[in-house]
Structure 1
């Protein structure tokens, strides 16, 4: 199948008026002009790789959209799958937390995480997107280790991150910052939030337990990420545990140290789109302008990824191909996925046809391995036009 009249976004440049041939689930051929013979009309739209999201927290909210209102897990995963496809995400790592200890922590317990992860494994072959599991291990919750070890041993985890939400460091560098966030985001009483913060600060991180978890992940060639690094020392600690991705560094100093050590730096797309961190830490824009940004992740909203990078293009902050790389080939490379993330011959045909003429991008069609998983009706009109011409 040929699709012509495209602006092909390659890793290093953009080809105007190009064409692509999809065959057997892969990109078979690229052309810089219209091919001979029948072809679907791309309408001059952008053709970019399918988005690769290494950190999306949305699955927990799909399972329990309101406190105490749990949905069937199969329904929740199916809904998330639809949302991801409609956002242009073709490879997604669903973040599952283990007993993080926030207000409303029933969302984030070992049993809940295990159940959702097992459901993803059972359903993933029939989903639109390639849905994978990002296991978030809280280093102060050693009791979650046996559950995570079991899931790793069974091959149900595809990425592990080491998280430390202890107040006084990382994302919450002082107690007041932590209390403000808890009261605003979760409606928690300020006095209760402060008391819990001080209790958590008294619990030392279980670094030896974390070392055992990462050793098992490395033995299975599973990528490891650090989370909310705030100092160069913390980055070095995490890199020593095997982390190759620094996700959401909260200071430029931490991001610079990650880059020096050869780690991929990743920020949140909502941060990039809004121009601000929810907790007053480093912005994605500042990390990008310092030349330290490798990738953007959905974080808490998959719909932020494309508007964020295209917004930077409209503001002349990045060339189009470099902006698109932040949500495609760069995260794919960081996760060790060599078969996707680029519009290139031989790559998987994970593709997004995108109309970028309006204030917000409009997805016309999305393919995963050459199979269309989302369309706004473009495919039917294009096929009808080819049939009429024939």
Structure 2
């Protein structure tokens, strides 16, 4: 009996094991079908198609830059002297013609007095030379009008010249005139030097540097005040050579200043013709001018710069992510037709930041896979 019971239990275990294997296989099949169904559903859901449409395609290049004055003037005194007064400091806003600083003018004023005295002497010598010439001319005229004398008559000593042409003193007058001209130039130079003891602003702007203080000895022509035209500020930006080739004067741009969110309209006014090495890269500088400069611009302020280097309006376009294998003006898109998608070669124009222009191979309204 016990032997039969053992055999029965063994057969029961085999039957249960077989049933478990069958159930496991069925469950695995069901699970696989569910997973495959979900994958197919996810794949279908992942295909996002967009319509080919007409619109604008734009291409921008971006970099960073700094705000700088459009014009900077290095100003110095015309004479050597000791600084007597400094009326400004860095950051002072000034108007055109405003006095910035002065040096001791006593020596320059003395030079003006000496030059004017020399001019007076030269003019007096010229007057004397002209008077002498007039007397000689009058004497020669009197001798020429004297009639023939009678035989035996006495000749009056009238100082008549004995040569054919009278000496009118022309050489003396010429010499005196040259002396007057030299003295007049000396006076003009002395007065200019006196004026140069006062340093004035040639333009309205902001003082960015003062190179001395009261009591300092300065040399004529040496920069003492640096003045920036902060009423006409610009942005200086450096572009890598890959982008610089597309830059042109007159292109529109936007500038976002450090600490600000609003983008300001600007225009490219200059592109450097020669680049500068920056490590292994070559960069080209560009200047941008604000359309309407804000009043709170700071010299050296950082800026984010975007320049529009390409634009096409009213053209067929698709997202740039939809076009692959672009080469020689053509590319490949995946045209979506309901449940299937097929590759198609298209011709392309401007490839912008978000959209690419399609010039052939697609029509408006067709569906393409946005990203694949």
TM-score by length of 2: 0.18
Q: Which has the higher helix share?
A: 1
TM-score by length of 1: 0.17
Q: Which has the higher strand share?
A: 2
